[in-house]
Chains A and B, each alone.
Chain A
Amino acid sequence: MSDKEKKQGTSISRRSFLKGVGTGTVAATVVPSVLIGSENAAEAQAGDAISTATIQLNINEKMYEVEVEARTTLLTVLRDGMDTSGNNVDLTGAKLICDRGECGGCTVMVDGKSVYACMMLAIDAQGKKITTVEGLANGDDLHPVQEAFIKHDALMCGFCTPGFVVSSAALLNENKQPTLEEIKTGLSGNTCRCGTYPFIFDAVKTASRKM
């Protein structure tokens, strides 16, 4: 089910009501817009059952207010989500490939650690700092990992590259000078079907010298 369909199924008035009474969302708190056993969102409390919710996500240091179903994954919000003002989130760097937490194409950082966005529910990402591949560069200044990937031509088809770049950046966050073995372990949750691994490992080595 797309987020557009979800939007249509959601009452605008209830959302307006939420805003009207000043019931905003705070970090790590879900304010449900639809409750089982209660139609009044203002009565929502911790422990209530949530089927859809308006949540705030901090993605690349920008706050997004999105409506999600409980089952919506973080990856779905990033790629196909729409904020409550009707703007697409449109962060399609994280790729939907295996959708089972195996290939690494959807890797993003949550609080600085790499995770599979396809295997994390969006409501669980509230109150956390989400960094996608789009958030690594500083304006036109590429992240050292991105520069090194270009320098070493560390891609062929490029489909896995965003995931590898984020995993590499996460690795260098916690280990500034990884050995080759540590690089291999750190990137072991990402798969490149073109087999560009040696170039990727070289790129991470180069990036580590600039961190």
Chain B
Amino acid sequence: MDKFSYINATSLEQVTSLLSESGWGEVMLIAGGTDLLGELKEYVETPKTLINLKTLPGMDGITADASGLKIGALATIDDIARHPTIQHHYTVLAQAAASVATPQIRNVGTLGGNLCQRPRCWYYRDETINCLKKGGDVCYAVDGLSKYHAILGGDPVYIVHPSDLAPALIALGASLKIVGPEGEKTLSLEEFFTLPATNPFRENVLEPNEIVVEVTVPQAKPNTKSFYLKAREKGAPDFALASVAGVFEMDGKTCKTASIVLGGVAPAPWRSKEAEAALTGMMINESVSQKAGADAVQDAQPLNDNAYKVTLTQNLISRAAMMAAS
């Protein structure tokens, strides 16, 4: 790691003001640090200053009441995975949190960090490679090794978004509170993430002087079943090869509404409107669930090494739908 100076944050105003004084990458934010320190050790980022957010008071809470769920950006992933109300009423989120990395990382990694973590692409993470994402001319995954890359929404940068929490939260209809120099704003978490076609350098719409402070999730509807299914290469902690966050409002075996968001297959969490349409209003059975999976990947454009993700994604969606009906 290069040297940096360290500032313990005292207030959101101070943080946004410090961020406003510099451009991208000069002043960076650190909470759990499990993603950022990896980037610093690989010299992918070389900030002059880190602002430690952990000293900000009152940003690590989780509250659940009749209005829904509020989770501070500094809540740890372990806090989310173990929260009894989240386990009971927002199951997809508890399952997603429990699937993140390892106990050691869940103990320090935060919600805000998980949502804002950078891609794991091996070209992006290699300091010697100036790929398209880092301002170069080429996304090397296109002609290079692409086993872990995007099958949907990739053009022109084929990273996948590594977050497990994001697909689950989007499927639950979460909103995100962001604070900037002009005050706070709220947007849907789905709108927070962007595709490379919009901006190849970023994965979200956060401005250089803004900070994610809280996620809110509306109250779960009655008769809702939700699941997070995550396929990994081995039976060991890892990022998703493909994952499905499914939230189903059920009436017996009939699906009243379905919310299907994919992880690990696109540069942003990927809502599958096709799968949702194939399930909504339907009595779920084998053929309906398989059609939902097939519809979700009909526009997939795999690279040289990742066609397996098409089948994998399709089957995960079918499986989630069958679980909702069982």
Which residues of A line the B interface, CB within 8 A? 28, 30, 36, 46-51, 53, 69-71, 73, 99-101, 104, 107, 110, 113-116, 119-121, 123-124, 167, 170-171, 185-186, 188-190
Decide: A123 and B6 in contact? CB cutoff 8 A: yes
Alpha-carbon gap, A100 to B41, bound state (A): 8
- Known contacts: A47-B14, A119-B34. The answer to whether A185 contacts B7 by CB under 8 A is no
Residues of B within 8 A of A119 (CB): 33-34, 37-38, 105, 108
Alpha-carbon gap, A46 to B3, bound state (A): 20
Decide: A71 and B102 in contact? CB cutoff 8 A: no
Interface centre among A110, A119, A121 (most CB of B within 10 A): A119
Q: How far is the CB of A44 from chain B (nearest CB, A)?
A: 11
B 1-33 to A, binary, CB cutoff 8 A, 1 in contact else 0: 111111111100010000000000000001001
Please, how many residues of chain B have a CB less than 8 angstroms from a CB on the other chain?
33
Residues of B within 8 A of A113 (CB): 78, 107
Alpha-carbon gap, A50 to B3, bound state (A): 11
Decide: B104 and A49 in contact? CB cutoff 8 A: no
The 9 closest A-B pairs by CB, nearest first: A189-B102, A70-B6, A49-B5, A189-B104, A51-B5, A113-B107, A47-B10, A71-B1, A50-B6
Residues of B within 8 A of A46 (CB): 8, 10, 55
- Known contacts: A99-B41, A188-B236, A189-B237. The answer to whether A47 contacts B7 by CB under 8 A is yes
Pick from A36, A50, A71, A107: contact of B104, CB below 8 A.
A107
Binds A, one of B46-54, B138-146, B163-171, B307-315: B46-54
Interface centre among A101, A167, A188 (most CB of B within 10 A): A101
Alpha-carbon gap, A113 to B82, bound state (A): 14
Pick from B5, B38, B54: contact of A124, CB below 8 A.
B54
- Known contacts: A47-B14, A100-B38. The answer to whether A120 contacts B3 by CB under 8 A is no
Decide: A188 and B9 in contact? CB cutoff 8 A: no
Residues of B within 8 A of A48 (CB): 7
Decide: A70 and B33 in contact? CB cutoff 8 A: no
Q: How far is the CB of B297 from chain A (nearest CB, A)?
A: 30
Which residue on A lies nearest to B237, using beta carbons?
A188
Say if the beta carbon of B132 comes within 8 Å of chain A: no
B 94-128 to A, binary, CB cutoff 8 A, 1 in contact else 0: 00000001111101100000000000000000000
Alpha-carbon gap, A111 to B285, bound state (A): 49
Alpha-carbon gap, A92 to B5, bound state (A): 27
Q: How far is the CB of A140 from chain B (nearest CB, A)?
A: 29
Q: How far is the CB of B36 from chain A (nearest CB, A)?
A: 9
Residues of B within 8 A of A188 (CB): 102-103, 236-237
- Known contacts: A69-B3, A100-B41, A124-B54. The answer to whether A115 contacts B104 by CB under 8 A is yes
Which residue on A lies nearest to B38, using beta carbons?
A100
The interface residues of chain A, by DSSP majority, are classed as mixed
Decide: A124 and B52 in contact? CB cutoff 8 A: yes
Decide: A47 and B236 in contact? CB cutoff 8 A: no
Alpha-carbon gap, A120 to B107, bound state (A): 11
Alpha-carbon gap, A107 to B14, bound state (A): 34
Decide: B54 and A70 in contact? CB cutoff 8 A: no
Pick from A30, A100, A107, A186: contact of B8, CB below 8 A.
A30
20 further contact pairs, Cβ within 8 A, besides A70-B50, A190-B102: A36-B5, A46-B10, A47-B10, A48-B7, A49-B5, A49-B6, A50-B5, A50-B7, A51-B6, A70-B5, A101-B37, A104-B102, A114-B103, A116-B34, A119-B34, A120-B33, A120-B108, A121-B33, A167-B104, A189-B102
Residues of A within 8 A of B10 (CB): 46-47
Q: How far is the CB of A29 from chain B (nearest CB, A)?
A: 9
11 A-B pairs with CB atoms under 8 Å apart are A46-B55, A49-B7, A53-B6, A100-B41, A114-B103, A115-B108, A116-B34, A121-B30, A189-B103, A189-B104, A189-B105
Interface centre among B7, B8, B40, B55 (most CB of A within 10 A): B8
Alpha-carbon gap, A189 to B6, bound state (A): 28
Alpha-carbon gap, A154 to B49, bound state (A): 44
Q: How far is the CB of A26 from chain B (nearest CB, A)?
A: 13
Q: How far is the CB of A114 from chain B (nearest CB, A)?
A: 5
Q: How far is the CB of A206 from chain B (nearest CB, A)?
A: 21
